[in-house]
Structures are given as structure tokens and as C-alpha cells.
């Protein structure tokens, strides 16, 4: 399988597609990363937040400082299947980032990284992820997006460093990645556009580029050069208004990204299972090893 640490493939997995999360199921336990849970008492946007922190296995992470990936909507990052009766290779409904990362690391397709999934509340997620006041029908949302980014930069990142005192974490902006999907991707892209000194990379799956009739597109145009390394996509089977706004945004990002922006329409839908299948390509763009293939 071209693995850094060769291992056998169990018979029950032999017929599965060569996807990273399936690969991870075949890996020995000592090559799989661990997930550590921590509660953070936040001062900006007060209240408790659960941080779920994935750390790659020691055998796969080496000695260099690790990039840090900050994931919005953290409840969708690692959780198992909704039905506990399904075998692991049929689990669905979440990103399974721990398995995707394990599989990509085993084949050497990406650099090892710490991944922190940050919990949110359904009632406030749109307010926290969107920096402008916007409307959806009769509902108004948004306005706390900058405060949320302050929370990530000045509270969440230091808390992760404190929690992982034995694991070196990189300081360079290019090694701090904002990750989001749907409306959480608005925050990821906004943070990388407005604060490349703090968040030098972003992954955005099916971003809600329609918010405020395309404010992200206008922002990209106004900002001029896009300094961050960005990987984004939208599914070809998503609704036309979503795709149209994403197409406009992606054109602006690519035009100003100096080759650092991967942003395109791909096969897929607006769902975690589709995002999980699309993830390896985006992770490789921001965490990739030159010349490696998934």
C-alpha cells in the first residue's frame, strides 16, 4: 500500500475503495492518533467550550513542530456513526477527520498536524461564524465573527499549547489552518483573508458564499492579494444559488492567490459524507508533501 510503516489489509477491507478513512481502519493501533477532550472556560463569547484535540501517533509525527488545524462545528469532526450497529467502514454522517488524517499520514500524503475540533451551539453558530449582520428570510444572524476569531487566536490556541505541552506546535501563520464547512467555512475564509498574520491557511467545504449577497466575494476583491493558502470546493449537485455564489468567490480568490488557492466545483453534495470523500485533496493542498499522492 506504499505505507511508511507497512501493514497488512484485513480481508473484510480488501474490496473497499482506496480512501484514507478506510486505510486507517487497517492500520495498527500504535500508528493511529489519539483524541483528547478538554473543556475551555471562554471569556470572549463567555461559556464552556469542548475542545477535541487529535494528535498523530508518535511514530508518524516526527520531531518537527506540528501545524494546527482549527475545525468549526467540532461536533461533526470525529464522532462515530449515528447507528452503532454499523461496521466501522459504513460509518457516516461525520467527517471522521481522525481516520482521514491517519490514512493520509500513513501513506505520507500530508504533513502530520494537530487537529482541534471546537464545539459550538446550534443556536449561536451562525452569529459566531459570520462577521456581518445578514438575513435569511425574516431571520437576522451574524455580527460576532471577529470576536470568534479573537477567541480562537487568543484563547483556544494558547489552551491547546498548554494542554499539549509535550507536543511542539508550529508558530508560522502558514501552519495555522482554519477549517469549516457550510456556514462554518465563512469564518474560515474570512479569518484567512482578514488575518493572514494569524491564520495563514484555510479549508472551506461548500462555503455559504451567499451570505449578505456575497460579502466574501466583495471582501476578496477589496483586499487585493490573497496571502493565505486556501483550499475550497463546492459540490456540483448543490443548489444553483450556492454554486453561483461560490463560483464568483472562487474566481476572485484564484485571481488574487498567486497560485496558492485551490478553489473549484467538484462532484458532490452538501453533506458530511461527500465532504469526507473530498477532504484529502484539500488537506493535501494546505498540508501536503511536495510530490506526494493520496
Q: Is residue 292 part of a domain?
A: no
Beta bridge partner(s), residue 179: 71, 203
- Note the pLDDT of residue 294: 41
- Note the pLDDT of residue 11: 73
- Note the pLDDT of residue 293: 42
Contacts of 26 (CB under 8 A, 6+ apart): 1, 7, 8, 9, 10, 13
Task: Give the phi and the psi of residue 182 in degrees, each rounded to 5.
Answer: 55, -125
CATH number at residue 232: 3.40.50.1820
- Note the pLDDT of residue 5: 80
Domain that holds residue 190: 11-287
Q: Give pTM, 2 decimals.
A: 0.94
Q: Is residue 73 part of a domain?
A: yes
Query: How many separate domains does the chain show?
Result: 1
* Successive 10-residue mean pLDDT values, the chain, 294 residues: 75 78 89 95 95 95 94 89 67 89 94 96 92 88 96 98 95 97 98 97 98 96 95 97 96 96 97 95 89 44
Q: Is residue 270 part of a domain?
A: yes
Beta bridge partner(s), residue 217: none
153: DSSP letter: I
Going 9 to 113 to 155 to 152, the CA torsion angle's sign is negative
Q: Is residue 16 part of a domain?
A: yes
Q: Is residue 3 part of a domain?
A: no
Helix (H) or strand (E) holding 84: none
In this structure, the number of other CB atoms found within 10 A of the CB of residue 146 comes to: 16
Distance from C-alpha of 172 to C-alpha of 188, rounded to nearest angstrom:
17
Distance from C-alpha of 114 to C-alpha of 164, rounded to nearest angstrom:
10
In this structure, the number of other CB atoms found within 10 A of the CB of residue 172 comes to: 10
Q: Is residue 17 part of a domain?
A: yes
CB 259 within 8 A of CB 269: no
Amino acid at each position: 500500500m506504499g505505507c511508511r510503516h507497512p501493514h497488512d489489509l484485513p480481508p473484510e477491507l480488501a474490496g473497499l475503495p482506496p480512501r484514507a478513512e478506510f486505510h486507517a481502519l487497517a492500520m495498527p493501533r500504535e500508528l493511529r492518533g489519539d483524541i483528547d477532550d478538554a473543556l475551555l472556560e471562554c471569556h470572549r463569547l463567555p461559556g464552556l467550550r469542548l475542545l477535541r484535540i487529535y494528535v498523530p501517533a508518535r511514530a508518524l509525527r516526527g520531531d518537527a513542530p506540528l501545524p494546527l488545524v482549527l475545525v468549526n462545528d467540532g461536533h461533526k469532526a470525529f464522532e462515530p456513526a449515528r447507528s452503532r450497529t454499523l461496521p466501522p467502514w459504513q460509518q457516516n454522517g461525520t467527517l471522521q477527520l481522525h481516520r482521514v488524517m491517519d490514512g493520509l499520514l500513513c501513506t505520507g500524503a500530508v504533513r502530520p498536524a494537530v487537529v482541534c475540533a471546537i464545539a459550538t451551539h446550534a443556536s449561536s453558530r451562525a452569529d459566531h461564524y459570520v462577521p456581518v449582520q445578514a438575513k435569511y428570510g425574516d431571520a437576522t444572524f451574524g455580527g460576532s465573527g471577529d470576536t470568534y476569531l479573537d477567541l480562537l487566536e487568543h484563547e483556544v490556541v494558547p489552551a491547546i499549547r498548554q494542554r499539549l505541552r509535550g507536543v511542539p506546535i508550529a508558530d508560522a501563520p502558514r501552519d495555522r489552518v482554519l477549517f469549516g464547512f457550510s456556514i462554518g467555512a465563512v469564518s474560515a475564509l474570512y479569518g484567512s483573508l482578514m488575518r493572514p498574520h494569524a491564520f495563514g491557511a484555510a479549508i472551506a467545504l461548500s462555503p455559504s458564499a451567499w451570505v449578505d449577497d456575497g460579502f466574501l466575494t466583495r471582501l476578496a476583491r477589496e483586499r487585493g492579494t490573497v496571502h493565505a493558502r486556501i483550499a475550497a470546493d463546492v459540490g456540483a449537485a448543490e443548489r444553483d444559488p450556492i454554486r453561483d455564489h461560490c463560483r464568483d468567490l472562487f474566481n476572485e480568490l484564484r485571481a488574487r492567490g498567486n497560485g496558492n488557492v485551490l478553489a473549484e466545483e467538484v462532484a458532490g453534495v452538501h453533506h458530511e459524507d461527500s465532504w469526507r470523500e473530498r477532504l484529502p485533496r484539500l488537506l493535501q493542498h494546505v498540508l501536503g508533501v511536495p510530490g506526494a499522492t493520496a
